[in-house]
Structure 1
Amino acid sequence: MILAEGTARRPGWTTVAWWSRPIGTLYLASLVLSVGKGAWFTCWAIFFVRSLGLTTAQFGIGITTAGLIGMIAGGPLGYVADRLGAREMLVALGLVQGIAVLSFLFVRDFWPIVIVTCVMLAAERAIPGIRTAVITGMVSRAERLASVSTTRVMTQAGIVAGAGFGAIVLAVDSRIGYLSMILFYGISNIVFVVLLRRVPHVESLRDRKVKRRVLVLRDRPFLVLTAFNGMLALCFGMLSSGTPLWIASHTQAPTWVMGVLVGFNSVMIVLFQNRVTRRGETVHGAGRLGLWSGILLAVACLAFAATYNGSGTTVLVVLLIAATIHVAGELLFMGSGLGLSVGLTPDGAHGEYQGVFNTGQAAALMLAPGVMAGLLVELGATGWFVLGAVFLVAGVGTVLTGNWALRRQASRAAAVEE
């Protein structure tokens, strides 16, 4: 927990001074945006089907198309942000996303809905990486990882708060309720943009009169790390889509337990993400976090598999144990990804590097529902063993590739000195 200067106990976020700093303004903007996002995440699937009237097939086609666009947009947009200004690009993306979200108030036909969704997801997927580029340009190198981690905590806290509003919308289950959710999310984007106007400009390549080609596509260790991080990012889908499908298909546990598990996960992330991320301040440390993340996520898979055909109090206890191990793995996964992506990025290239790194997670988010359905519904307990093996491979690959990246950096530094 970050403490205010001059106090040993009071958390910094409880003071006005902590929020009034430039980085505090960015935290606040991220919090506001994530409140709207939490409401959207809770309702979006039902909104598309019940309010916009898409069939299940149309919904699947549309969201997959939009997911592909969102997955590939991060790298190019990040490169443009490095050249023209990360803060300005973040403002533009917030505005574009807000307009796209509010467009759902007016669109009706299938293809206009798909186009709007593609625009919205392209902006949504690019925002985290470019926000990290803004942070790295605002704070010292020693503060970067802690600041990025705090932004993650703010985002998670906002999503939890917004999910409450989304739950009310689902309970009402009316078109007016869904439209109010759209308005709420659109306004949160506009407020996000307004707050960003108070964040200082971050020096760009154009300011420095530097012209260069794309760097990240020639950084093979970083690209491999992106792939392994994307494999570990399946832990998001493991909870959001895999566990509900598993509980409904292969256990006799009540469906309400899923809400308990999601709430528990969110609270643990808010409380412990910053503490865990500190262990990844070096690339070597971040690689080890990735290894332990893979191990813990694999163990969590075994614990979930143990609930097969379970019922009564026993299955509830085992599900909670599995969820506890899972959130520990997720915390380590996020700490590893933040430490590696920030630590291995050259100065002046944070936009493109973060944009490309986020494609791994974007791919996981896009593929997770289908992967989880295929493994856990169709294969049953065997699917958990397959998923656990994926996490183990990703964890081992992360630490080995992190060491490869360090050796590559050392050889380049030696070549420069010679």
Structure 2
Amino acid sequence: MHGGSRVDGAGEQIEVSNRSWLTGSTRRLLVAGAVDWLGTGLLVAASAVYFTQVVGIPTRQVGLGLTLAGVLAMSAAGLVGMLADRFGVKRVLIGLYLVRAGATFAYMAVTGWLGLVGAAVFRLLGDQATSPLVQSLVAEVTEDGNTRVRIMASYRVVANVATAVSTPLAGYAIAIGTYQAFAFLLIGNAFAFVATAVLLMWMPAGVRRRSRPTATPKAAVIRDGTLLSLTGVDGLLALWQPVLSIAMPLWIVASTDAPKFMAGVLFALNTIGCIVCQVSAARLTSRIRLATRSYTAVPLLLLASCGFFAASGSSHGGATIALLVAAVVTLTGAELLQTSASWTLSYAIAPDEKRSQYLSVFGLGRAASRNLIGPLVLTTVVTMPHAQGWFLLALGFLLVTGVTYVVGRKCTQVPSRA
């Protein structure tokens, strides 16, 4: 093995390999990701149903509560990135997983709207901050841009395998509908977060800092026009997340004649599609020009998915199942292109000394989609009569296509910093 050793920012000696992307640090990170998503898969398609059907909070109040919690959580994103750049990504990640565990346990004690907001703030803070810091940790394992994207694709495949294993249990809990069934999901999710934190403690510190982070004000980061435009576009394209986790299960339960357990089955179908196609999608978006072109295709796929969901509300029997499957397949295509392209572009714009800050701010677009825009818009979409909400959402994606094309053309001229 060609390579040697280095000393990281905390003074720890680390091994550096230039030959293989699957190093000891990478293996442990993939194992930690598997444990994380074994737990997350238990709840990701069931939380909205838990609060509406078990706790008894009205659907629109759940959307408002999650939106408010998301806003509060997002306000801390830049601070989390600064802490990671200053004290080390691994240390901050461990703390985030413990915060997520505590917040998930707190969900079991929620009895009303205020309790939902209080617990969700910490859960959503941990959820939205973890992903960019995992990406930043990957960048500390290797300096090669293609290798970074390959590791991220592999991480996501492992995460989706784990989710496919655990998500069907969420479908059973939704079908049973009791507090005890959902408590099993919550406890399993929380313990998985604790186990992930323990695994990260044993992970070698694969940090490859060339210099200490500069004392750049947070305002200087958020004034970067390229960063802000990409963040906005990414947030709009990431609406596939709340469609999958919020709108789909609520729509199936309240507006179609499909069995309730289909929510878990369709979520598993989505994860299987990502398992099979994620690495290939990463290859297709490995260059900036290809990544920006992929972004333009995403809103068209989302538009098609909305049409299939809308049609499933007035169909019957097997036709309903077929339409729901078509909706999830097109949604999965959008997810694959959006996530893969985002790795390429976000690595390209992030300078080494402020990488965690840049990636954390970039992640705000996706966080806004998942925790702010998504809960508010998608809970409204599924409660509007005669599938009107789906048609309005599809119109929105049609308009987004033009915006994405304009921003994409600008991004082809962005000099890579990866």
Measured against the shorter chain, the TM-score band is: 0.7 to 0.9
Q: 1:127 aligns with which of 107, 130, 145?
A: 130
> Larger deviation: 326-335 or 271-280?
326-335
Q: 1:208 aligns with which of 187, 190, 212?
A: 212
1:95 equivalenced with 2:101 (yes/no): no
**SS of residue paired to 1:182:** helix
Q: 1:294 aligns with which of 293, 299, 302?
A: 299
CA distance in 1, matches of 2:308, 2:171: 29
1:194 equivalenced with 2:198 (yes/no): yes
**Structure 1 residue 170, shift from structure 2 partner:** 4.9
1:368 equivalenced with 2:374 (yes/no): yes
**Structure 1 residue 81, shift from structure 2 partner:** 0.9
**Structure 1 residue 152, shift from structure 2 partner:** 1.9
**Structure 1 residue 196, shift from structure 2 partner:** 0.7
Give the structure 2 partner of residue 160 of structure 1: 164
TM-align CA RMSD: 3.3
Amino acid at match of 1:392: L
Amino acid at match of 2:164: V
CA distance in 2, matches of 1:364, 1:379: 23
CA gap 1:372/1:283 in 2 versus in 1, 3 angstroms = same
**SS of residue paired to 2:44:** helix
Contact kept, 8 Å, 1:86 with 1:202, in 2: the verdict is: no
**Structure 1 residue 405, shift from structure 2 partner:** 3.5
CA gap 1:336/1:84 in 2 versus in 1, 3 angstroms = same
Give the structure 2 partner of residue 79 of structure 1: 82
Q: 2:289 aligns with which of 284, 287, 300?
A: 284
**Residues matched between the structures, number:** 395
Q: Which runs of 5+ in 2 are unaligned?
A: 1-19
CA distance in 1, matches of 2:55, 2:191: 20
TM-score by length of 1: 0.81
Give the structure 1 partner of residue 390 of structure 2: 384
CA gap 1:294/1:107 in 2 versus in 1, 3 angstroms = closer
Give the structure 1 partner of residue 231 of structure 2: 226
CA distance in 2, matches of 1:21, 1:402: 37
**Structure 1 residue 77, shift from structure 2 partner:** 0.7
CA distance in 1, matches of 2:302, 2:363: 20
Contact kept, 8 Å, 1:283 with 1:344, in 2: the verdict is: no
Contact kept, 8 Å, 1:205 with 1:211, in 2: the verdict is: no
Q: Which runs of 5+ in 1 are unaligned?
A: 1-16, 413-418
Contact kept, 8 Å, 2:266 with 2:328, in 1: the verdict is: yes
Give the structure 2 partner of residue 38 of structure 1: 41
CA gap 1:400/1:354 in 2 versus in 1, 3 angstroms = same
Alpha-carbon displacement from aligned partner over 1:393-416 (angstroms, at most 9, x marks no partner)? 434433432332343539x9xxxx
**SS of residue paired to 1:391:** helix
Alpha-carbon displacement from aligned partner over 1:160-208 (angstroms, at most 9, x marks no partner)? 3222344455566555554443332222112111111222335487962
**Structure 1 residue 252, shift from structure 2 partner:** 4.9
Give the structure 1 partner of residue 271 of structure 2: 266
CA gap 1:371/1:127 in 2 versus in 1, 3 angstroms = same
CA distance in 1, matches of 2:224, 2:385: 37
Give the structure 2 partner of residue 239 of structure 1: 244
CA distance in 2, matches of 1:63, 1:129: 21
1:400 equivalenced with 2:406 (yes/no): yes
Give the structure 2 partner of residue 29 of structure 1: 32
Alpha-carbon displacement from aligned partner over 1:212-240 (angstroms, at most 9, x marks no partner)? 23343121122112111111111222333
Amino acid at match of 1:191: A
> Larger deviation: 165-174 or 269-278?
165-174
CA gap 1:395/1:140 in 2 versus in 1, 3 angstroms = farther
Give the structure 2 partner of residue 415 of structure 1: none
Alpha-carbon displacement from aligned partner over 1:135-167 (angstroms, at most 9, x marks no partner)? 111123231111112222222222232223444
**SS of residue paired to 1:409:** coil
> Larger deviation: 126-135 or 171-180?
171-180
Amino acid at match of 2:29: L
CA distance in 2, matches of 1:53, 1:192: 31
Contact kept, 8 Å, 1:84 with 1:206, in 2: the verdict is: no
CA distance in 2, matches of 1:129, 1:264: 25
**SS of residue paired to 1:200:** coil
Q: 1:136 aligns with which of 134, 139, 153?
A: 139
> Larger deviation: 252-261 or 28-37?
252-261
CA gap 1:320/1:110 in 2 versus in 1, 3 angstroms = closer
CA distance in 1, matches of 2:376, 2:383: 10
1:409 equivalenced with 2:415 (yes/no): yes
Q: When you count helix as a share of all residues, which structure comes out higher?
A: 1
Alpha-carbon displacement from aligned partner over 1:26-62 (angstroms, at most 9, x marks no partner)? 1111110111111132443455567767676775554
CA gap 1:174/1:307 in 2 versus in 1, 3 angstroms = closer
CA distance in 2, matches of 1:206, 1:140: 11
Contact kept, 8 Å, 1:86 with 1:204, in 2: the verdict is: no
Contact kept, 8 Å, 1:245 with 1:377, in 2: the verdict is: no
Give the structure 1 partner of residue 330 of structure 2: 325
Give the structure 2 partner of residue 359 of structure 1: 364
Amino acid at match of 2:290: G
CA gap 1:304/1:184 in 2 versus in 1, 3 angstroms = closer
Contact kept, 8 Å, 2:86 with 2:213, in 1: the verdict is: no
TM-score by length of 2: 0.81
Give the structure 2 partner of residue 336 of structure 1: 341
